Amino acid sequence: MTTIRDVARLAGVSISTVSLALNSPKRVGAETLDRIQQAIKSTGYRIDPVAQTLARGRSSLIGFVSANLGNMFFGDIRREIEHQALDHGYFVLIADSSGRADLERALLERLEAQKIAGIALAANGRGEEYATFLRDFKTPIVMFDQKVEGAERDFVGSDNPLTTTILTEHLLQLGHRRIGFISGPSGLHTADERLKGFMNTMAGAGVDIDPSLVVEGGYTRTGGHAQAMRLLTRRDRPTAIIGANNMTGLAALQVMQEMGFRCPDDVSLAMVDDVPWSNVITPRITMVVQDAQKLGELAAQRLLARIASPEGAAAPPQDFILTPRFVRGESTRRL
């Protein structure tokens, strides 16, 4: 059976250099790395993950935990983290918590038991007790999208109040005053921040908010559909609806079509985040888009830095907040 010693002999380098090339390829010169890669191909050498874990004292796996892997937004972040991880000799193990804090915690504990190198987490747990759990967790964690106050972990996310501030201001400028808002789960970081952006913008414009037009859709298509149905079956229905994420926004459009409403002639619509094939959806939805690729890149960089050295692991936690982008579609109109 081919061993790492055979690779080192063929490449004309030491065993430790081959090991470095396998575990941290960016720390090896381009010419040397090319010779080692050619030697690996020639010998048919395969990395022994058990031996690699023993040598490192930790797994070559990085965990990725989020609530809804079917959402395009999380898929784009996961893809970028995977690319960054592979470049540094790590593979990504993916887990879906289904938005359940108890399952999320169980997944984190299982990953830690496997001596996983680090975890990228979009947290759904919340509260002081959960913050303490994350703060005391031994494995490096970088949180993205969802923040848990008091966890004292790196956080990578967007300016969430700004997402709905932009959409609300856009609708106000078009003359809308009765604006329905389908929010995410109460207590969840992004949901609370986006609701705050909507409420503050309405108040700043001197517009009274009808509390019955602010409903919770749970960030799911099912929840969004049910709440959009409630809003649109009212005799005094809103003239516009904001979906706090892509699933609730798309569900609202579905309800409009099912009930025979024309968007935007009868009801305007805007939402946070894009959806697959949005360029063929009629009408094209007006939205605010987060830079998922950049979010994934920053989360991966922070996690890899935490893993790489004791100094990186001990560095104070930082927040990285990106500015979202407004994309004007055809789903809103002037009253």
In the predicted model, is pLDDT for residue 219 greater than 60?
yes
Check if the beta carbon of residue 223 is closer than 8 Å to that of residue 185: no
Structure confidence at residue 49 (pLDDT): 59
Which DSSP letter does residue 278 get? G
More confidently predicted of 317 and 42: 317
User: Could you give the dihedral angle defined by the CA atoms of residues 115, 117, 118 and 124, in that order, rounded to the nearest 10 degrees?
Assistant: -30
Q: Could you tell me whether strands 91-96 and 179-183 are parallel, antiparallel, or unpaired per DSSP bridges?
A: unpaired
Burial zone of 323 (CB within 10 Å; 0-12 exposed, 13-18 middle, 19+ buried):
exposed
Report the interhelical angle of 15-23 vs 30-43 (nearest 10°). 100
Q: What is the mean pLDDT of residues 136-152?
A: 95
Could you tell me the pLDDT band of residue 89, with boundaries at 50, 70 and 90? confident
Please report the domains of the chain, with CATH numbers, ordered by start residue: 2-46 (1.10.260.40), 55-156+290-322 (3.40.50.2300), 158-288 (3.40.50.2300)
Instruction: Please report which helix (H) or strand (E) contains residue 305, including its range.
Output: helix 292-308
Q: Cα(60)–Cα(275) distance, rounded to whole angstroms? A: 32
Burial pattern 8-23, b for ≥16 Cβ within 10 A else e, equals bebbebeeebbbbbbb
Round the average pLDDT of the chain to a whole number and report it: 92
Q: What is the mean pLDDT of residues 12-38?
A: 84
Strands, DSSP E only, in 51-134?
A: 61-66, 91-96, 118-121
Q: Cα(283)–Cα(264) distance, rounded to whole angstroms? A: 8
Q: Cα(229)–Cα(261) distance, rounded to whole angstroms? A: 12
Q: What is the mean pLDDT of residues 12-25?
A: 82
Burial pattern 107-142, b for ≥16 Cβ within 10 A else e, equals bbeebeeeebbbbbbbbbbbeeebbebbeebebbbb
Q: Cα(190)–Cα(164) distance, rounded to whole angstroms? A: 11
Which DSSP letter does residue 212 get? G
In the predicted model, is pLDDT for residue 57 greater than 70?
no
pTM exceeds 0.95 for this model = no
